[in-house]
Amino acid sequence: MSLLSSIAALVLAVQATPPPAPPSADKAPSLDQRMMPQLQAAAQAVRAHQPQAAIDALAPVLAAYDADLARETRRIYCGMSVQETLLYLTMAAKDKVAAVAVPPGYCTALYLKGYALVDLGRMAEAKAIYERLLTLAPMYAQYQTEYGQLIRLEKDWPHMLAICTKAGEAAAIADPALKPRQQGAALRCQGYALTELHRYDEAEKRYRDALAINPKDAVAQHELGYIAQQRAKAKPTAS
């Protein structure tokens, strides 16, 4: 899984979902509440490097969400946080379209499936899922960064840089518990694309910014070493 963020980021994203309140005696549990055990099981399967088991566990979950949304005619967003939900509804109002923000379980299920598909090497299917996530949660930085890492496989460095730059902008409004991790991931993603474009000064700044957030960021430290090596190779040798 070296092409994606650490597995810890995945688990953190799942754990960041607000815990479901116990249903009252006269109220049936919500779909998110009913699906939470399966979502947690799928996350554990991914952590255990059992991607097919995760996909199998998610099949009925996604079927339930798809059935629940089948007749929805409004624009659908995933409300990954209160702030994002308000932003999405404001965006829809500006577009003069009706919209609804569903709880985060649906996008979490899609994200887990996409992550598992990458683990299985089924990149085209994973890419389609991440593109769907960018529509459902366009300001959730982690989804953008993961998509940027998939674009990395295509070696489309300008596109990767554009996506990961958007991820950095989205991370600015992330939940405080997730913000440092999402900002660091976006900066590293930008740094990688800039390095491949031979824009070493800009890449170095991104990695140093990542280290300012987390001085123990081993990936940023390694990439700075790589940039130093490339600069040394580019220097003309003395005659």
Domains of the chain: 1-17+34-139 (no CATH), 140-234 (1.25.40.10)
Query: Residue 116 corresponds to which tokens in the numbers above?
Result: 């598992």
Q: DSSP for 93-108?
A: HHHT--EEEE-THHHH
Q: Which segments of the chain have a pLDDT < 70?
A: 1-26, 237-239
Quote the CA–CA distance of 20 and 32 in Å, as a whole number: 8
Facing residues of 77 across strands?
101
Residues 145-195 have pLDDT tens digits of 999 999 999 999 999 999 999 999 999 999 899 999 999 999 999 999 999
CB-based contacts of 159-167 (< 8 A; 24+ apart in sequence): 160/189, 160/192, 160/193, 161/190, 161/193, 161/194, 161/197, 163/189, 164/189, 164/190, 164/193, 165/190, 167/141, 167/142
What integer pLDDT is reported at residue 32 of this predicted model?
Answer: 86
Query: Is 50 in a helix, a strand, or coil?
Result: coil
What integer pLDDT is reported at residue 28 of this predicted model?
Answer: 76
C-alpha separations of 117 from 47, 89, 231, 234 in Å: 13, 31, 36, 39
What integer pLDDT is reported at residue 5 of this predicted model?
Answer: 42
Spatial neighbors of 86 by CB under 8 A, at least 6 apart, are: none
Residue showing tokens 């694309």:
193
Phi-psi region of 83 (alpha: psi -120 to 50; beta: other; left: phi over 0): alpha
Query: Is 76 in a helix, a strand, or coil?
Result: strand
Query: Residue 18 corresponds to which tokens in the numbers above?
Result: 């607000």
State if pTM tops 0.75: yes
Quote the CA–CA distance of 116 and 56 in Å, as a whole number: 10
Handedness of CA 128, 132, 137, 138 (dihedral sign): positive
Q: Using CA atoms in the order 48, 77, 171, 51, what is the torsion angle rounded to 10 degrees?
A: 10
